[in-house]
């Protein structure tokens, strides 16, 4: 979750480091650039590793977010990248930098939320580091996952004819964020709508199933919004996508909000980030084997991969238009930063 | 590198997490508490993993430290923990949070220093995460090292009769830090004395040798000062130590500084932190096999493990006194924080 310019800069920085670091031992490491996580290949098999920061006033506002949600979400974000590669999360390391004011009750609740996520994902803590800082909580999490050798699911394998699938409903986290950022007091019944933003649910059982079945030709998690992430998958696979607006599983928006264009369900579903569902493609021969529901996770086929480049969306009325990436890093971050 | 209270709190926090996280699968994970790193045991062999933060205005002052040194030292600190377990460093992950002012030339130089350390240690970058923050550079590094199953060298194996060894000279990093923190301009000839603080050298070749030979009964790195770290090793092994002041390889202090008690070589060597040499013990039968020098690293036997508890030091004049832990986390941090 970062601005486009910073993402480009990150790629530049990592390229810079790669150039400066001694030549690669062929085949034992695939960098996480352009994929969700890195794959370490050794004679002992393969591991999926990823690290992710969750920073106060960059990724969350501590005064507006329950402490247990900070812990839950920090571990969820990092673990999502391991599931998205087809890996099975095993261990995590936690570095924390905390102001003194966050070492008491806040910390206990944060840990409680993180422990719940660890249970949900089958993760065990393998180490940590703690420092005290003047301000701004900083959590940094490394997740290590196992994977059978050669079974990694990257972003580059989508082929024309493959179906495009997503898990869960899209736009719920964005709806929660927008409600949170509205001025004024929140109605009690709207509080439940914050849950997808505070406690995003990973499709654990389905992700493990997919990791075992080897049906996905390409996969990633939806962290920056469908329009952005599907564009990335297509670019990496050198293909195009055609999706259907009516097939997209959209967040359910309360009636009272539906007239406000900020709460249009399709817009939220297309461009809202942080749902952490899976986006994957699969060859037509697998279409019937992919369950519509597994372990509480709904799976929807929203379109198909075609030759070319870019993402085309067929509207409810049947007209087709190009869908431009408009998720987190292309527009939303500026207004969000301001709102926060 | 942290205060005693924070260290205790860290242990409490990790205990708290351990209690809340589902019960351990027996034998597959040893937490890094009380050791330098954690050991992951799987059917695919063992891995040593550790993470370490290097934070502006906590661990370094960006205006006083060359950017390449920040990168070099950040990776050195983290990697030292892998060597200290007998592991062979293989991969690292880097999370950075940077203010905009540090994304240009400063960043290039920081990366250059980190790349040099990676070459020195045989490490390859396996992933990363980047975020922009308002202030205060934050680097978080995870290092993954390989180790033969069952070959981990912890802190708990020292036995009465074992020799106590250290690598390198002690106190050089502390001397550099104290010179850096002195008011007034620095004499040109003193600048070279900052090197051990800016670019601590790890005993790479010797560490790998020791990892292969399995001669060390206990080992750790000296990050918080000999008096503190040897006390920890003894406490974990439930033994005592007797060391000899004349045998301790002390930093060489320029004549002009020697009358200042802040620059007493023995005090610097006993209590100064961040040298990142190895402290290890070995049974008497190995004494002759341990080289006095390997790959540019000097190795000194400074005393022996005895029954009991605590650390006894025999002074130059032959009198013995108890050596209390007085390294980083027991006294220095308070004055240092102030100075910084």
**If DSSP codes are grouped into helix, strand and coil, which group holds residue A192?**
helix
**Nearest-by-CA chain A residue for B112:** A20
pLDDT at B22: 52
pLDDT at A41: 76
Judged by CB atoms closer than 8 Å, whether chains meet at A93 and B51 is answered as yes
pLDDT at A331: 36
Phi and psi at residue B123, to the nearest 5°:
-100, 150
Which chain A positions have a beta carbon within 8 Å of B52's beta carbon? 95, 129
Which chain A positions have a beta carbon within 8 Å of B16's beta carbon? 108, 111
Judged by CB atoms closer than 8 Å, whether chains meet at A131 and B6 is answered as yes
How near does any CA of chain B get to the CA of A246, in Å?
35
Q: Under a CB-based contact definition with an 8 Å cutoff, are residues B234 and B304 in contact? A: no
Which chain B positions have a beta carbon within 8 Å of A142's beta carbon? 49, 51, 93, 142
One DSSP character per residue, A123-162 reads -EEEEEEEEE-SS--EEEEEEEEEE-TT----SS---TT-
Q: Which residues contact B19 (CB under 8 A, 6 or more apart)?
A: none
Beta bridge partners of B50: B143
Beta bridge partners of A49: A38, A144
pLDDT at B299: 98
What whole-number distance in Å separates Cα of residue A55 and Cα of residue A59?
5
The DSSP element (H or E) to which B133 belongs, if any, is: none
**Nearest-by-CA chain A residue for B45:** A44
Which chain B positions have a beta carbon within 8 Å of A45's beta carbon? 44
| B38 has a pLDDT exceeding 90 | no
Judged by CB atoms closer than 8 Å, whether chains meet at A6 and B108 is answered as no
Residues of chain A with pLDDT under 70: 1-35, 43-44, 328-340
- What does the pLDDT look like over B69-78, one tens digit per residue? 999 999 999 9
Judged by CB atoms closer than 8 Å, whether chains meet at B91 and A129 is answered as no
Mean pLDDT computed over every residue of chain B: 87
Closest CA to B49 of B93, B12, B9, B18: B93
Per-residue pLDDT band for B340 (boundaries 50, 70, 90) equals very low
Confidence (pTM) = 0.90
**If DSSP codes are grouped into helix, strand and coil, which group holds residue A319?**
coil
Q: Under a CB-based contact definition with an 8 Å cutoff, are residues B47 and B174 in contact? A: no
Q: Under a CB-based contact definition with an 8 Å cutoff, are residues A206 and A276 in contact? A: no
Judged by CB atoms closer than 8 Å, whether chains meet at A126 and B38 is answered as yes
Q: Which residues contact A337 (CB under 8 A, 6 or more apart)?
A: none
How near does any CA of chain B get to the CA of A52, in Å?
6
Judged by CB atoms closer than 8 Å, whether chains meet at B95 and A29 is answered as no
| CB burial of residue A77 (10 Å; 0-12, 13-18, 19+) | buried
Phi and psi at residue B139, to the nearest 5°:
-115, 130
One DSSP character per residue, B210-257 reads HHHHT-EEEEEE-SS-HHHHHHHHHHHHT-EEEEEGGGS-BPPPPGGG
pLDDT at A9: 60
pLDDT at A240: 98
Closest CA to A254 of A168, A187, A302: A187
Q: Under a CB-based contact definition with an 8 Å cutoff, are residues B223 and B90 in contact? A: no
Beta bridge partners of A187: none
pLDDT at B329: 52
When mean pLDDT is compared across A56-65, B21-30, B172-181, the lowest value belongs to B21-30
Which chain B positions have a beta carbon within 8 Å of A81's beta carbon? none
- What does the pLDDT look like over B222-248, one tens digit per residue? 999 999 999 999 999 999 999 999 999
Which chain A positions have a beta carbon within 8 Å of B126's beta carbon? 29, 31-32, 38, 40, 49
How near does any CA of chain A get to the CA of B112, in Å?
7
- What does the pLDDT look like over B182-232, one tens digit per residue? 877 777 888 899 999 999 999 999 999 999 999 999 999 999 999 999 999
pLDDT at B15: 67
What whole-number distance in Å separates Cα of residue B329 and Cα of residue A254?
55
What whole-number distance in Å separates Cα of residue A64 and Cα of residue A61?
6
DSSP 8-state symbol, A122: T
Q: Under a CB-based contact definition with an 8 Å cutoff, are residues A154 and A216 in contact? A: no
Report the residue count for chain A.
Answer: 340
pLDDT at A127: 83
Judged by CB atoms closer than 8 Å, whether chains meet at B49 and A127 is answered as yes
Say which of A13, A118, A127 has its CB closest to residue B107: A13
What mean pLDDT is predicted for residues B116-126? 92
Largest Cα span, chain B: 59
| B33 has a pLDDT exceeding 80 | no
pLDDT at B10: 60
Q: ipTM strictly over 0.95?
A: no
Judged by CB atoms closer than 8 Å, whether chains meet at A111 and B17 is answered as yes
Which chain B positions have a beta carbon within 8 Å of A95's beta carbon? 51-53, 140
- What does the pLDDT look like over B276-299, one tens digit per residue? 999 999 999 999 999 999 999 999
What whole-number distance in Å separates Cα of residue A210 and Cα of residue B333?
51
What whole-number distance in Å separates Cα of residue B323 and Cα of residue B305?
14
Per-residue pLDDT band for B103 (boundaries 50, 70, 90) equals confident
């Amino acid at each position: 979750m970062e601005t486009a310019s910073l993402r480009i800069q990150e790629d530049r920085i990592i390229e810079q480091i790669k150039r400066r670091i001694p030549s690669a031992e062929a085949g034992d490491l695939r960098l996480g650039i352009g994929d969700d996580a890195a794959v370490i290949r050794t004679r002992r098999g393969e591991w999926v590793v990823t690290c992710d920061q969750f920073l106060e006033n960059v990724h969350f506002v501590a005064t507006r977010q329950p402490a247990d949600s900070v812990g839950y979400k920090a571990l969820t974000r990092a673990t999502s990248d391991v599931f998205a590669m087809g890996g099975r999360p095993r261990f995590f390391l936690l570095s924390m930098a905390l102001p003194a004011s966050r070492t008491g009750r806040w910390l206990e609740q944060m840990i409680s939320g993180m422990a719940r996520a660890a249970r949900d994902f089958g993760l065990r803590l393998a180490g940590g580091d703690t420092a005290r800082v003047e301000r701004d909580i900083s959590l940094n999490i490394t997740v290590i996952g196992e994977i059978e050798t050669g079974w990694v699911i990257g972003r580059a394998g989508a082929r024309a004819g493959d179906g495009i699938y997503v898990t869960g409903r899209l736009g719920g986290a964005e709806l929660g964020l927008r409600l949170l950022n509205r001025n004024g007091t929140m109605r009690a019944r709207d509080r439940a709508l914050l849950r997808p933003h505070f406690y995003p649910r990973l499709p654990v059982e389905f992700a493990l199933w997919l990791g075992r079945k080897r049906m996905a030709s390409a996969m990633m998690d939806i962290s920056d919004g469908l329009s952005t992430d599907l564009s990335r998958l297509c670019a990496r696979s050198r293909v195009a996508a055609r999706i259907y607006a009516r097939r997209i599983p959209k967040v359910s928006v309360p009636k009272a909000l539906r007239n406000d264009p900020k709460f249009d369900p399709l817009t939220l579903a297309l461009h809202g980030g942080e749902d952490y569902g899976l986006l994957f493609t699969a060859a037509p021969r697998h279409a019937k084997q992919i369950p519509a529901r597994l372990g509480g996770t709904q799976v929807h086929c929203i379109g198909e991969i075609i030759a070319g480049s870019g993402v085309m969306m067929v509207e409810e009325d049947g007209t087709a238009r190009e869908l431009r990436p408009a998720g987190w890093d292309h527009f939303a971050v500026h207004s969000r930063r301001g709102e926060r």
